[in-house]
Amino acid sequence: MAKSMYLLWGSGSPPCWRLMITLEEKKLQGYKQKLLSFEKEEHKSKEVLEINPRGQLPTFKHGENIINESVGACLYLENQFKSQGNKLIPDSPAEQALMYQRMMEGLFFLEKMEFFVFYDFYAPEGERHDSALKRHKDNLVTELKLWESYLENCCFRGFSLADVVFFPSIACTFAYGLSPERYPKLAKYYNLLKDRPSIKATWPPKWFQFEQRSESLKEI
Amino acid sequence: MAKSMYLLWGSGSPPCWRLMITLEEKKLQGYKQKLLSFEKEEHKSKEVLEINPRGQLPTFKHGENIINESVGACLYLENQFKSQGNKLIPDSPAEQALMYQRMMEGLFFLEKMEFFVFYDFYAPEGERHDSALKRHKDNLVTELKLWESYLENCCFRGFSLADVVFFPSIACTFAYGLSPERYPKLAKYYNLLKDRPSIKATWPPKWFQFEQRSESLKEI
């Protein structure tokens, strides 16, 4: 099955990483893949645009089926390969509700991180304001504190699509210098999962814009 | 079953509307509900914050299970009530892939619309730039054209969660003055679905900030 899959991905991109973790969890190793460079704008190449008009990574095909949105692709793979590999959507209504809730909230987390870390990318020169940057920073801190509170009673029961969506983003924050002392629950969660085989096997060879950004979350 | 559900919602909010359409489609009428006012900041009230720390609508409980994220709640309801009412996730792999893809893309559509229509809300006075507003407008036009192209071959096969997510947003654009002549496929899609019973039964009694905004998409 995995042989009919084709993934175009960029290193350090949380959406790409989500999909790669899911492929590992579902024992779908051996898929065709190509690592592209964001810096060289390869995500805007003809090959990508033919499959993904948004020119984004991941870009993913399973046979003739195209599903580029990472969360959509993870849901699709879990549904198509229910009994293969690890189950990523729990059965019990309570666990399922929490899983879907955190999975979707995980998208906000990433967005809030990116609005702060990549502020210069979102706001061109001449449109930047210290007040806006501070607001994005405050929003991210609020978000981090919210997830700290979620993890108070170890909110993630088992490994599920909630972790698939959230873990790559929280790994980014630590790669960008987030303080484990200030966010101990998040650090504990990160350390608990970072050696999971599916995560280790797909660890980004390099972080997206890591070099310039490694210190950007140090003070928050 | 519906009796154990409680929905706090705001009129004209696409995320709230998604959930209400899903409840209709799954024959879960009769749930407890309360209409709150965004203008009066009732989404930041104690009652909401106790269930939803983000202070957003929808806020939704099924028994003791809390699931406030609209797409998460729709996925949850479809999974919990698979054989009740209409099936909202197709079985065939090809249709399922397309459904998940469009469902997640529907979130971007709404975001791009909001960044333009509610620009003054996102950018406080002193941080506003014509260049930013123009960029948001261009992004929305690109997005609208993309969906026009998706609808070229009538991309939505049957009614699914892709429509549940997308329809409320496209209904907003027409409420905000979008030209049916300039976007004929979107207009056709809108007209095809607007009288569907689940949609008609949940039509917003008033649009969020409609009064001030009704013309804002007229020229795009």
CA distance A183 to A204: 23
In this structure, of A98-112, A193-207, B94-108, B199-213, the range with the lowest mean pLDDT score is B199-213
pLDDT at B207: 73
CA distance A216 to B172: 38
Q: How does pLDDT run across B18-52, given as a tens digit for each residue?
A: 999 999 999 999 999 999 999 899 999 999 999 99
Element housing B122 (H / E) = helix B119-122
pLDDT at A55: 97
Q: Are B145 and B138 in contact (CB under 8 A)?
A: no
- Taking only Cα atoms into account, the Rg of chain A, rounded to an integer number of angstroms, comes to 17
Q: What is the CATH number of domain A2-80?
A: 3.40.30.10
Q: Between A155 and B27, name the one with better pLDDT.
A: B27
For the residues B150-173, what does the mean pLDDT come to? 87
- b/e sequence A163-195, b meaning 16+ C-beta within 10 Å: bbbbbbbbbbbbbbebeeeebebbbebbeebee
pLDDT over 70 at A8, yes or no: yes
pLDDT over 70 at A53, yes or no: yes
Q: Are B136 and B115 in contact (CB under 8 A)?
A: yes
Task: Please list the residues that pair with A61 across neighbouring strands.
Answer: A6, A66
A123 part of contact set with chain B, CB < 8 Å: yes
CA distance A15 to A52: 14
Mean residue pLDDT across chain A: 93
A37 part of contact set with chain B, CB < 8 Å: no
B126 part of contact set with chain A, CB < 8 Å: yes
Domain ranges of chain B: 2-80, 93-213
pLDDT over 60 at A212, yes or no: no
pLDDT at A214: 60
Q: How does pLDDT run across B75-106, given as a tens digit for each residue?
A: 999 999 999 999 999 999 999 999 999 999 99
CA distance B15 to B72: 11
Question: Which of these, B55, B13, B17, B21, lies nearest to B209 by C-alpha position?
Answer: B13
- Read off the tokens for B172: 């907003």
Chain length of chain B = 220
Compute the count of residue pairs across chains A and B with CB atoms less than 8 Å apart.
90
Chain A residues within an 8 Å CB radius of B104: 69, 71-72
CA distance B69 to B58: 7
Using CB atoms, pick whichever of A69, A96, A129 lies closest to residue B76: A96
Chain B residues within an 8 Å CB radius of A72: 100-101, 103-104
Report whether the peptide linkage leading into residue B58 is cis, meaning its omega lies within 30 degrees of zero.
Answer: yes
Using CA coordinates, name the residue in chain A closest to B72.
Answer: A100
* Interface contact A100-B129, CB threshold 8 A: no
Mean residue pLDDT across chain B: 93
Burial of B197 (0-12, 13-18, 19+ CB in 10 A): exposed
Q: Place B157 in a pLDDT band, splitting at 50, 70 and 90.
A: low
Task: Please list the residues that pair with B34 across neighbouring strands.
Answer: B8
Residues 81-120 of B with CB under 8 A from A: 89, 93-94, 96-98, 100-101, 103-105, 107
- Read off the tokens for A136: 């994005």
pLDDT over 90 at B150, yes or no: yes
Q: Are A90 and A99 in contact (CB under 8 A)?
A: yes
pLDDT at B29: 96
In this structure, of A22-26, A86-90, B57-61, B174-178, the range with the lowest mean pLDDT score is B174-178
Q: Looking at the domain covering A93-213, what would its CATH class be? A: mainly alpha
What is the percent of chain A where pLDDT is above 70?
95
pLDDT over 60 at A154, yes or no: no
* Interface contact B127-A131, CB threshold 8 A: yes
B127 part of contact set with chain A, CB < 8 Å: yes
Nearest C-alpha of chain B: how many angstroms from A129?
Answer: 7
Those residues whose C-beta lies under 8 Å from the C-beta of residue A38, and which sit 6 or more positions away, are A10, A13, A57, A208, A209
